[in-house]
Amino acid sequence: MTFTVAIVGRPNVGKSTLFNRLVGKRLALVDDQPGVTRDRREGDAYLFDCRFRIIDTAGLEEAFDGSLEARMRRQTERAVEESDLVIMVIDARVGVMPIDEHFAKYLRRGKTPIALMANKCEGKVGEEGLMEAYSLGLGEPIPFSAEHGLGSSDLYDVIKEHMTRAVEEKASSDVFEKSEPIKPAPAMAAKAAEAKAAEESDSEDDEYPEDEFEGFEDDGEGRGPLQLAIVGRPNVGKSTLINKLIDEDRLLTGPEAGITRDAIAIEWEYRGKPLKLVDTAGLRRRSKIEDKVEKLSASDTIRALKYAQVVALVLDADGVLEKQDLTIARTVIDEGRALVIVVNKWDTCKDKDAVMQRVKDRLQTSLPQVKGIPVVTISALKGHKLNKMLDTVFDIYDVWNIRLPTAGLNRWLAELIERHPPPAPGGRRIKLKYITQARTRPPTFAISCSLPEDLPASYTRFLENNLRETFDMPGVPLRMHMKKGD
Ligand code: GDP
Ligand code: GDP
């Protein structure tokens, strides 16, 4: 059991900004347009020595039957139920609104402890709102500025107090941080939080280093949950698929267009193996991006690709692998992620053979460097072949994680060179001596080469293809580095 904090409040008060600050990476969307934060999202939050789970919810809106607001409210109710502490956020610059009062009343009725936060308190403009906040009957408001990172130390005090109480009550201290709380001076607090956030996001990046290679060393393999992103253009059926997969209405589906706008992480188990889903909005053609929200969503999708290990690119059987789909596919490969092509709406597809042929042709011509990208056909609507899809996802994940023994690799290299020696430009034979697997995720190999600059790219490609075939590594990006050695 992890201590869980839910952030609630009407739209535009700064919930997403707060969430981002605490989680330390830009998972949620931030925008001036009310209601941008539509679905709940969760993350691991850090505040000095406190670690907790945080849930960002859609705006608490008054319910109108069957409307988006009503469903958003249900999501919020669920988040509140699941949390140990609720932080209700108001906008101190605007002051207390009737809707704030309405939801304060609603929250007061529940059992979950509530903390009140007056956000946007930087400067003098927020002072009045901060005073008004007392009228909500939720105790002393925490003055805060999510945008400027002020007030972390006050927030820390409140969270720590509730965590400590929860530990005492539940007597299960093992799940909480054991380190002694060290409370920095308020002025240092914001800086410390920022440094912490930077550190966290750095270490995130470390997991996927750029195409750098530092000698023949191992990267270690911690296997957490498989992180899967489901991407694709609007309307291909991503939301339908996700809903079917998790069998829970955490994501809001419905007639409203483009409802799944940003990255949301959901975790569950498939056949006993943990799977974390990063849902993403459909990538739209840039020229069709009309408003700011759509723009954000597109770049968020690209980000989600980066955080995912396996990417399922969903296509509509009605129009497979168009230019934009191929762009996504190429990005996935360039980022070193494993790709699975998912052809959806197979139930209504008339000429199945023709569609499959087209998919194969397009992959062959547009992504020739990665042979064997898996293609699965599903019907998200009917729930057909979803297990096959997930099995494929886990299979390719295994290949992506593969670790080949150095002895076997060197035997392969020696035999290959014997049969197909490297070229001898200007009469100087290029010697390839040793090979080792430098990294996994994706499989990355290093070869010591007497004249790395002179080795033609075509020969490297030949090596790659042969390696892929020999060691059975279809569909994943491979990397090969030539390292100077004699
Ligand atoms: P949400 O809808 O409640 O999740 O609100 P957002 O996090 O999307 O923020 C709404 C707007 O308020 C954005 O334009 C933010 O940049 C802005 N905002 C968030 N926190 C602060 C703050 O502390 N001070 C000020 N001045 N603006 C903020
Ligand atoms: P998203 O924009 O990618 O999230 O797409 P949605 O999940 O909202 O689906 C768009 C439309 O395609 C909806 O009307 C779905 O009911 C429909 N759809 C989704 N999957 C299937 C499928 O497997 N077969 C059929 N026939 N329709 C589907």
| Segments of 366-477 assigned E as strands | 375-377, 432-439, 444-449
Q: Which atom of ligand 1 is nearest to the CA of 9?
A: 3
Q: Is residue 177 very low, low, confident or very high in pLDDT (cuts 50, 70, 90)?
A: very low
What is the arithmetic mean of pLDDT over 465-484?
Answer: 90
Average pLDDT over residues 204-230: 47
pLDDT at 300: 52
Q: Looking at residue 425, what is its pLDDT? A: 77
Question: For the ranges 48-57, 100-109, 161-170, 245-254, which has the lowest average pLDDT?
Answer: 245-254
- Residue 118 clears pLDDT 90, i.e. is over it: yes
CA of 114 to the centre of ligand 1 (A): 21
Å from CA of 12 to ligand 1 middle? 6
- Say how far apart CA 324 and CA 425 lie, in whole Å: 40
The values of phi and psi at residue 364, to 5°, are: -60, -45
H helix or E strand, kind and range, residue 342? strand 338-344
For each of the domains in the chain, give its residue range(s) and CATH number, in order of start: 4-25+38-165 (3.40.50.300), 226-255+262-401 (3.40.50.300), 406-484 (3.30.300.20)
CA angle 84, 202, 275 (to 5 degrees): 55
Tokens of 14: 């700064």
Give the distance, in angstroms, between the CA of residue 57 and the centroid of all CA atoms in the same chain. Answer: 17
Which pLDDT score is estimated for 283?
34
| pLDDT one-digit tens code per residue, 14-69 | 988 898 888 875 444 444 444 444 455 788 888 877 889 998 875 444 444 555 55
Choose the residue to mutate in 231, 235, 260, 324 for probing ligand 2, maximizing ligand atoms within 8 Å of C-beta: 235
Q: What angle do CA 392, 322, 363 make, to 5 degrees?
A: 50
**Average pLDDT across the chain, whole number:** 75
Ligand 1 centre from 21 Cα, in Å?
A: 11
Give pTM, 2 decimals.
Answer: 0.53
CA distance readout (Å), 486 to 420, 432, 448: 19, 8, 7
Q: How many helices (H) and strands (E) does the chain have?
A: 13, 15
Interface confidence (ipTM) of the complex: 0.55
What is the C-alpha separation between 447 and 463, in angstroms, rounded? 11
Q: Which of 294-303, 314-323, 329-338, 420-429 has the lowest mean pLDDT?
A: 294-303
Residue-wise DSSP of 204-236:
HHHHS--S---SS---------EEEEEE-STTS
Pick the more confident residue, 127 or 415.
415
What pLDDT shows up at residue 42?
Answer: 80
Pocket of ligand 1, candidates 38, 117, 147: which has the most ligand atoms within 8 Å of its Cβ, to mutate?
147
Burial of 426 (0-12, 13-18, 19+ CB in 10 A): exposed
User: For the chain, percent helix, then strand, then coil, each to nearest 5?
Assistant: 40, 20, 40
pLDDT (tens digit per residue) in 371-382: 889 999 999 999
